[in-house]
Structure 1
């Protein structure tokens, strides 16, 4: 396994740590342990830090793979899978904490499943589908929005409590839907010709 793939695997391994920091523990456990009390109070900030680190590795493994010609079939499979697992885990946990609406998570996750399904079908037929910049922009928008929600606007909180985190989440949602539609539109003819 090359360095780029090891970084991708590390990103997947950070997901359980990210989940661990979410304050999802029962009250009786929180009352009995100072560690769980600390996580209950500050866990979302730790989760945000782990999430940002894990998200940053996406750029790092891609950069290393391209620079040192380490692009492999394993990397092509693991890299998007790691991204989808991280984003999906974050969205589900945010819904569980009532920090975002369930339908937002559902739309974003559904888009990822649909596009992944298209890629699997195309790959089975040996069709190379075009990727575009909107997919990368979508990922960046999702990471920024999720981080803002985790931090409850954190350093960007304004005196009048404008819900910037929710505005960013809606922007990420729109970018997600747009990039999905654009991906299908751009690759429709390639799939149709091989059907």
Structure 2
């Protein structure tokens, strides 16, 4: 449990409330710094897990949980300050609630989580790129003329792809639960959808 990658993931999780507080308080530069540290440790924990052969089930749960929490914290903090509309928060959170429901359905049929789809990864990347770009424009108004449009382009595209991936997961869920009994359950390397 106490591997270097897992410790980095715990640090990322511990910084989520700090990040949210900084955004809500309008401390944009400090919030961006926390986000950069989080992104660096996100890359580093995955790299070290593979390099040191320390991939654990706990790490596979912590990493996507931290990713989701940072996305939610950024969206909620920015919406709280009226920098993004609340409907974008509902779109992104609604998709994750939808996937949670799919996970319950799969579990009720004796299946594990679905394998990660590349579209889900691309959507998460877009959102991870969009929110800091929007924050960058708030922290440094001189760059807002390009960071805001770029951030919004990635954000809207990411939200669309997020739901597109969700629909693919729904179709795959229907396909999997219709498999004849005795078929091996779907296994996943990670829970990130």
Same fold by TM-score greater than 0.5: yes
**Residue equivalent to 2:158:** 172
If the length of structure 2 is used for normalisation, what is the TM-score? 0.78
For 2:54, what is the secondary structure of its paired residue? coil
Cα shift readout 1:91-136 (whole Å, capped 9, x = no counterpart) = 1111101111101111101112222343355357243522122222
Q: Contact conserved, 1:111 with 1:177, CA < 8 A, in 2?
A: yes
Of residues 59, 69, 72 in structure 2, which corresponds to 1:75? 59
Of residues 88, 93, 97 in structure 2, which corresponds to 1:104? 88
Q: What are the equivalent positions in structure 2 for 1:30-179 lying under 5 Å apart?
A: 40=26, 43-119=27-103, 121-122=105-106, 125-152=110-137, 154=140, 157-158=144-145, 163-179=149-165
Q: Contact conserved, 2:23 with 2:78, CA < 8 A, in 1?
A: no
CA distance in 2, matches of 1:194, 1:77: 29
For 1:150, what is the secondary structure of its paired residue? helix
CA distance in 1, matches of 2:171, 2:40: 29
Q: CA RMSD in A?
A: 2.6
If the length of structure 1 is used for normalisation, what is the TM-score? 0.77
For 1:21, what is the secondary structure of its paired residue? helix
Unaligned residue ranges in structure 2 (runs of 5+) = 182-193
Shift in Å, 1:53:
2.2
Unaligned residue ranges in structure 1 (runs of 5+) = 25-39
How many aligned positions are there?
Answer: 177
Q: Contact conserved, 1:127 with 1:190, CA < 8 A, in 2?
A: no
Structure 1 residues 48 and 73: CA distance shift in structure 2, 3 A = same
CA distance in 2, matches of 1:18, 1:106: 20
Q: Contact conserved, 2:137 with 2:145, CA < 8 A, in 1?
A: no
Please identify, of 161-170 and 127-136, the stretch whose mean Cα deviation from structure 2 is larger.
161-170
Structure 1 residues 65 and 120: CA distance shift in structure 2, 3 A = farther
